């Protein structure tokens, strides 16, 4: 069996997620594989949508503004320490992140249902869409849902 659980080998710098999280799986299998021309027609739910969603981020004024925002809230200690406005912006960081990934997550949930069985998806998206430092603060919410 290939399905190795999430584990770290060697030096441990490389993440080795099992290929079972929804986000990884979708990226891997969508539009891939042999195609034959004699299918029975069955309805496929949502596949088109996801494909489009995955490419939703394009270079645009919006993207530029997001880059600008991210650059401006960097804490570079240039003037001998961080200033107050910057710390306040840091607090808002989570909110902005949520907004930018909302469309994608929302669509996926609509298609696949969010209250579905196991927790792969949640972990996966947590890992993917949030900067590391946020992981700790998001954990309690996950636990709530599991219990």
Partner 1 sequence: MAAADAPTEAPVHEACYVYGVVAAATAVDDLSSSDGMGNGISLIADGSLAAVVESIDPDRPLGVRRDVLAHSAVLNDLAAQGPVLPMRFGSVLADETAVVTELLRPHRERFVTMLDEIAGMSQFTVRARYVLDAVLAEVVAQEPEVAELRRRTRDLPEDATHYDRIRLGELVAKAVDGKREVDGQRILEKLAPYAADHAVRDVSGMEELIQASFAVHEKRRQKFEAAAEDLAEEMEGRVRMSLVGPMALYDFIPEE
Distances in Å between the Cα of 73 and the Cα atoms of 32, 129, 139 are: 40, 18, 24
d(CA 20, CA 4): 10
Q: Is 7 in the site for partner 1 (CB under 8 A)?
A: no
Which structure tokens are listed for 144? 């709530």
Binding mask 61-100 for partner 1 (x = CB under 8 A): x-xxxxxxxxxxxx-x------x-xx--------------
- Out of 88, 92, 106, 116, the residue judged to bind partner 1 by CB under 8 A: 116
Closest CA to 69 of 47, 46, 51, 92: 92
How many residues contact partner 1, by CB under 8 A?
69
Residues that bind partner 1 (CB under 8 A): 1-3, 9-11, 13-20, 22, 24-36, 38-40, 42-47, 54-59, 61, 63-74, 76, 83, 85-86, 111-113, 116-117, 120-121, 131-132
């Amino acid at each position: 069996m290939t399905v190795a659980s999430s584990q770290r080998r060697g030096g441990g710098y490389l993440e080795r997620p099992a290929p079972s999280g929804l986000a990884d799986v979708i990226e891997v299998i969508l539009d891939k594989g042999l195609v034959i021309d004699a299918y029975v027609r069955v309805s496929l739910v949502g596949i088109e949508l996801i494909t489009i969603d995955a490419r939703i981020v394009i270079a645009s004024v919006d993207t530029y503004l997001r880059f600008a925002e991210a650059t401006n809230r960097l804490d570079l200690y240039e003037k001998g320490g961080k200033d107050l406005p910057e710390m306040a912006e840091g607090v808002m960081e989570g909110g902005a992140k949520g907004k930018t990934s909302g469309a994608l997550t929302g669509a996926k949930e609509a298609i696949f249902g969010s209250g579905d069985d196991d927790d792969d998806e949640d972990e996966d998206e947590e890992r993917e869409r949030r900067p590391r430092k946020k992981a700790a603060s998001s954990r309690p919410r996950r636990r709530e849902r599991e219990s």
